[in-house]
């Protein structure tokens, strides 16, 4: 069932326009945040993801999303002995929950900026654009002792290249969506429209 609520003023676009950034654009928002620059559009809130159950988080920030919500959060160290392993255990009183990583880390590539020749002109275009890795993405599934929330939410954790260590500044978790399709080996996050399988 699609949610209808009033959006934050910065998301109130004319009909037909929506905030639907590409992965490369999301990493651009993340780079701006890490470098302390002003965001092009103030729609990505900074929250401590581990202090929330997803349903409560979406309710608190419902005006900032249309079936997908975007957040910055700090990656925290795990209490396990695994070096550089981030903490994904939720700290909600009375709830035992975690954001479980699924699948492998997927690289995100972007076109390399064109080099200029000695005359200050862009180099001849090649037939195929050269791509460089600019960050990574990983799917996380919410697992909880609360049956209403367990397995019903997923998010993508985006990390800018060179900023994967825990305790380093801000990372982005995007999007937070309700999981509607689930199979034994793979969870697929979609928007909140009903999907028949």
What pLDDT, on a 0 to 100 scale, did the predictor assign at position 190?
30
Q: Which of 32-36, 170-174, 186-190 has the highest mean pLDDT?
A: 32-36
What pLDDT, on a 0 to 100 scale, did the predictor assign at position 79?
76
Per DSSP, 184 falls in state S
What SS3 state is found at 64? Answer: helix
What pLDDT, on a 0 to 100 scale, did the predictor assign at position 81?
63
Cα–Cα distance for residue pair 8/69, rounded to 1 Å: 12
Spans of all domains in the chain: 18-115+122-189
Cα–Cα distance for residue pair 49/173, rounded to 1 Å: 9
Give CA angle at 20 (15, 22), nearest 5°: 150
Cα–Cα distance for residue pair 1/94, rounded to 1 Å: 28
pTM: 0.75
Q: Which two tokens stand for residue 189?
A: 């996050």
- Lowest-confidence region among 40-44, 67-71, 113-117, 192-196: 192-196
Superfamily of domain 18-115+122-189: NAC domain (2.170.150.80)
- Lowest-confidence region among 21-30, 80-89, 166-175: 166-175
Question: Would you say 111 and 23 are in contact if contact means Cβ atoms under 8 Å apart?
Answer: no
- Lowest-confidence region among 78-87, 122-131, 138-147: 122-131
Cα–Cα distance for residue pair 136/113, rounded to 1 Å: 19
């Amino acid at each position: 069932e699609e949610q209808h609520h009033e959006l934050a003023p910065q998301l109130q676009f004319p009909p037909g326009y929506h905030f639907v950034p590409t992965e490369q654009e999301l990493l651009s928002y993340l780079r701006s945040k890490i470098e302390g620059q002003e965001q092009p559009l103030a729609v990505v809130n900074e929250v401590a993801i581990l202090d929330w159950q997803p349903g409560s988080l979406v309710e608190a920030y419902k005006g900032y999303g249309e079936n997908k919500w975007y957040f910055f959060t700090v990656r925290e160290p795990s209490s396990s002995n695994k070096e550089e392993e981030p903490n994904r255990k939720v700290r909600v009183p009375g709830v035992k929950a975690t954001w479980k990583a699924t699948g492998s880390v997927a690289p995100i590539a972007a076109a390399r900026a064109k080099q200029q020749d000695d005359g200050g002109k862009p180099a001849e275009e090649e037939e195929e654009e050269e791509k460089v890795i600019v960050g990574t993405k990983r799917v996380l599934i919410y697992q909880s002792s609360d049956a209403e929330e367990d397995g019903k939410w997923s998010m993508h954790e985006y990390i800018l290249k060179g900023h994967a260590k825990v305790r380093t500044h801000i990372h982005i978790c995007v999007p937070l969506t309700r999981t509607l399709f689930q199979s034994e080996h793979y969870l697929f996050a979609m928007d909140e429209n009903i999907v028949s399988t």
